[in-house]
């Protein structure tokens, strides 16, 4: 014979369950407001590439792949899985609020139910321990990007109380039901609850006291569940609702490619985003998915050098704006669409988010690449930049000059295009227009490689490597134009469209299929964004190309002077294109060179500061990004610094001069390889020197 609930306690349960139902109804209204916010954005959910989306859900949601690669990731994994498993117990608790004798054992059998309770019991302890670890880390260790907020403290306390009340209620229930049959399961399968029961027994609690512990523990547990239902949609843990769908509907276009806009749309009244209606529903969902973990700001070069930009705050401000719209729409519970449409809302640009925040972004992708829930910060920032550029034409003088140079001369320097191939004078480099057919590879030189005196040396070095490997290649010469990357990322989509369509027309006319380039920005733009305009080519960055030549033994390398070389990962071949091994393989292939890493490398690499059009803008706030990255490189005490991007070359060159460290050689990987080709040595191909003592 087991414990039988008294009419008084059953009445209390009925009243409580009625209040809980009201609480869930209130939570449902809050969620409805949030869903309304998503309807403000354009577009609708897409289920394309369903297999990839399902795979991603298993890997990134259930497997927490992006979470566990961070120091506290495993703690979160245990909390997540504990929460999932314990929901079964919570559902059973709620059913038993109305039907006291209900147990899932009636459906799955006694043994299976005992195993289920064992899993719940163990995970309850795991979650409780994880909460203690999380509290210690957040409020005692206090890592740089962890925010010790009151909101987080409330969540940690409430989750801990969920576990405590669960063990209290289950422990008391074991003592109130002396047999397994009466209990509904074998108590040996719930060791933690059994330990709690043992503690109660040692204290000599009678049936009356145990009854109070059982029911109050049970009711407090459900009260916290009801509180969570209303608290979660209103606080930072909204991600418990938004993260799963955000991962499932994540952007599957080529990583780092911006959303295109139709510049030929004659019906478009505005370009860019200055209101929620001008962002996609998915961009709005991004804000609900934010875990406020701080990873984006932790790795953001702008934020870490004292700029106005904080990518997490960009997302947070948009989320608050969406919630405000939802609250207004549901005032008085009943929707009033007409009232909502007639109200003047604060603009996104210069209102919700300042222009200084938007223009500080280097589009390096550190925020996107490190976000555990696939928020696309850069797309949203660039969409608002597009409004600044295309609708307000609000540029700084240096940006206006850069746009003018690109429009008039198809390069940011404003140098006449007639000089674009001058670097090749006397080098016997073939030009496509002089050939009867397209070569196997088109060497896309890029603006920096054509006009910047320092980068011309890199261009010549790569051409030397191509010749040494007997590669069939040619250049466009004066027919090559700027890819438009700086214009697009600064928001001037129209200028980008003009430049890109012109280049695509030229490339298609010559039947070009394969392109190799020394510029990561040209590589990324042509390879990932030109297909949006009908330009489909196989594009290879020179680091991957050189690494393949070495592997295939098409070029041989001789020993270099012994040197410790520190390599800097370019954002546009590293994070945006996941190419980390080839550059390092190249350095390792040169006998005598020792590769060493900065503290922030590969996925966590720190931007040089030139991306997103920032190459052409002054920095007026905080420490300059390139100086910060130069300091990080110098901290490794290198004999030489290696890069693989013309923008990075310029920024490091400036940084080394600023730190009076010009004696340390700064080389592109192509130069290092060309200098150490196993060919007769001349003054122009001497090995890379070590730093002076």
10 Å CB burial of residue 335 (0-12, 13-18, 19+) is: middle
Domains of the chain, first to last = 50-234 (no CATH), 276-392 (1.10.1060), 405-549 (3.40.50), 557-685 (3.40.50)
Take residue 682 and report the two structure tokens written for it: 């001349």
| 454 membership: H or E segment, kind and range | helix 453-468
SS3 of residue 515 by DSSP: strand
Ranking 98-112, 121-135, 354-368 by mean pLDDT, the lowest is 98-112
- Pairing state of beta strands 514-517 and 538-541? parallel
pLDDT digits (tens, 9 = 90+) for 206-248: 999 999 999 999 999 999 999 999 999 988 889 989 999 999 9
In whole angstroms, give the CA distance from residue 255 to residue 190. Answer: 47
CB 570 within 8 A of CB 262: no
CB 73 within 8 A of CB 295: no
Average pLDDT over residues 482-508: 97
Helical axes 7-39 vs 281-289, angle rounded to 10°: 140
Instruction: Categorize the per-residue pLDDT at 321 as very low, low, confident or very high, splitting at 50, 70 and 90.
Output: very high
Ranking 236-245, 329-338, 580-589, 662-671 by mean pLDDT, the lowest is 329-338
Identify the DSSP state of 525: I
**What pLDDT was estimated at residue 576?**
96
DSSP of 253-283, one letter per residue?
SSTTPPPP--TT-TT-S--S-SSGGGSBHHH
**What pLDDT was estimated at residue 340?**
53
Take residue 654 and report the two structure tokens written for it: 């400036």
Half-sphere exposure of residue 625: CA atoms within 13 angstroms, side-chain side: 30
Percent of the chain residues topping a pLDDT of 90 = 79
In whole angstroms, give the CA distance from residue 586 to residue 461. Answer: 15
CB 396 within 8 A of CB 326: no
Average pLDDT over residues 347-370: 96
- The residues with which 517 forms a beta bridge, in sequence order, are 444, 541
Instruction: Categorize the per-residue pLDDT at 337 as very low, low, confident or very high, splitting at 50, 70 and 90.
Output: low
CB 358 within 8 A of CB 349: yes
pLDDT exceeds cutoff 70 at 126:
yes
pLDDT exceeds cutoff 70 at 21:
yes
In whole angstroms, give the CA distance from residue 447 to residue 646. Answer: 9
- The residues with which 349 forms a beta bridge, in sequence order, are 353
Identify the DSSP state of 232: G
In whole angstroms, give the CA distance from residue 378 to residue 365. Answer: 7
**What pLDDT was estimated at residue 184?**
79
CB 692 within 8 A of CB 564: no
In whole angstroms, give the CA distance from residue 688 to residue 431. Answer: 31
pLDDT digits (tens, 9 = 90+) for 180-203: 887 878 889 999 999 999 999 999
Average pLDDT over residues 79-104: 89
Nearest residue to 353 via CA among 323, 389, 396, 310 = 310
DSSP of 388-416, one letter per residue?
IIIII----HHHHHHHHHHHHHSSTT---
In whole angstroms, give the CA distance from residue 174 to residue 161. Answer: 20
State pTM to two decimals.
0.91
| 218 membership: H or E segment, kind and range | helix 207-231
């Amino acid at each position: 014979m087991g414990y039988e609930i008294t009419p008084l306690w059953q009445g209390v349960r009925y009243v409580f369950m009625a209040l809980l139902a009201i609480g869930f109804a209130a939570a449902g209204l809050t969620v409805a407001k949030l869903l309304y916010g998503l309807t403000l954005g354009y577009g609708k959910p897409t289920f394309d590439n369903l297999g990839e989306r399902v795979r991603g859900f298993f890997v990134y949601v259930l497997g927490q792949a992006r979470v566990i690669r961070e120091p506290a990731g495993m703690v979160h994994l245990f909390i997540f899985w504990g929460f999932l498993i314990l929901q079964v117990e919570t559902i059973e608790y709620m059913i038993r609020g109305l039907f006291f004798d209900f147990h899932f054992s009636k459906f799955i059998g006694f043994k299976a139910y005992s195993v289920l309770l064992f899993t719940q019991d163990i995970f309850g302890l795991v979650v409780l321990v994880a909460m203690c670890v999380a509290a210690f880390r957040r409020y005692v260790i206090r890592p740089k990007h962890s925010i010790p907020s009151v909101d987080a403290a409330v969540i940690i306390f409430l989750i801990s109380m969920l576990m405590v009340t669960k063990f209290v209620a289950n422990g008391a229930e074991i003592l109130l039901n002396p047999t397994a049959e009466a209990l509904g399961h074998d108590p040996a399968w719930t060791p933690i609850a059994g330990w709690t029961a043992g503690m109660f027994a040692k204290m000599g609690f009678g049936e009356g006291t145990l009854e109070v512990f059982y029911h109050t523990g049970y009711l407090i547990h459900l009260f916290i569940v009801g509180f969570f239902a209303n608290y979660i949609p209103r606080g930072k843990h909204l991600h418990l609702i938004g993260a799963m769908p955000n991962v499932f509907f994540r952007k599957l276009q080529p990583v780092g490619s911006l959303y295109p806009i139709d510049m030929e749309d004659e019906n478009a009244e505005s370009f860019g985003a200055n209101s929620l209606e001008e962002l996609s529903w998915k961009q709005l969902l991004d804000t609900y998915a934010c875990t406020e973990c701080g990873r984006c700001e932790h790795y953001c070069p702008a934020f870490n050098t004292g700029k106005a930009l904080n990518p997490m705050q960009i997302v947070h401000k948009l989320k608050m704006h969406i919630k405000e719209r939802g609250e207004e729409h549901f005032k008085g519970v009943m929707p009033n669409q007409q009232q909502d449409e007639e109200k003047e809302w604060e603009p996104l640009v210069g209102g919700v988010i300042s222009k200084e925040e938007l223009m500080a972004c280097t589009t390096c992708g550190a925020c996107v690449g490190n976000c555990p829930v696939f928020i696309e910060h850069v797309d949203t920032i660039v969409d608002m930049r597009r409004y600044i550029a295309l609708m307000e034409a609000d540029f700084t003088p240096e940006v206006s000059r850069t746009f003018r140079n690109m429009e008039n001369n198809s390069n940011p320097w404003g140098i006449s295009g007639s000089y674009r191939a001058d670097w090749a004078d006397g080098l016997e480099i073939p030009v496509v227009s002089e050939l009867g057919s397209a070569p196997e590879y088109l060497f896309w030189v890029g603006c920096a490689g054509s006009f910047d005196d320092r980068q011309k040396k890199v261009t010549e070095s790569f051409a030397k490597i191509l010749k040494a490997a007997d590669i069939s290649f040619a250049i466009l010469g004066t027919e090559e134009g700027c890819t438009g990357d700086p214009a697009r990322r600064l928001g001037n989509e129209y200028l980008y469209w003009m430049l890109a369509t012109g280049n695509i027309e030229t490339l298609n006319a010559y039947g070009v299929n394969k392109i190799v380039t020394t510029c990561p920005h040209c590589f990324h733009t042509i390879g990932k964004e030109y297909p949006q305009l009908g330009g489909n080519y196989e594009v290879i960055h020179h680091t991957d190309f050189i690494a393949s030549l070495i592997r295939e033994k098409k070029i041989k390398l001789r020993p270099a002077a012994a040197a410790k070389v520190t390599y800097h990962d370019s954002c546009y071949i590293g994070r945006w294109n996941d190419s980390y091994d080839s550059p390092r393989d190249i350095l390792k292939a040169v006998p005598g060179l020792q590769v060493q890493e900065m503290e922030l490398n590969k996925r966590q690499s720190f931007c040089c500061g030139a991306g997103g059009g920032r190459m052409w803008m002054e920095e007026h706030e905080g420490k300059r990004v390139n100086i910060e990255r130069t300091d990080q490189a110098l901290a490794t005490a290198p004999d030489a610094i290696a890069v693989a991007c013309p923008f990075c070359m310029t920024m490091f060159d400036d940084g080394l001069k600023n730190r009076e460290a010009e004696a340390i050689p700064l080389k592109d990987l192509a130069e290092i390889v060309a200098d150490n080709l196993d060919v007769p040595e001349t003054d122009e191909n001497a090995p890379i020197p070590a730093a002076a003592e």
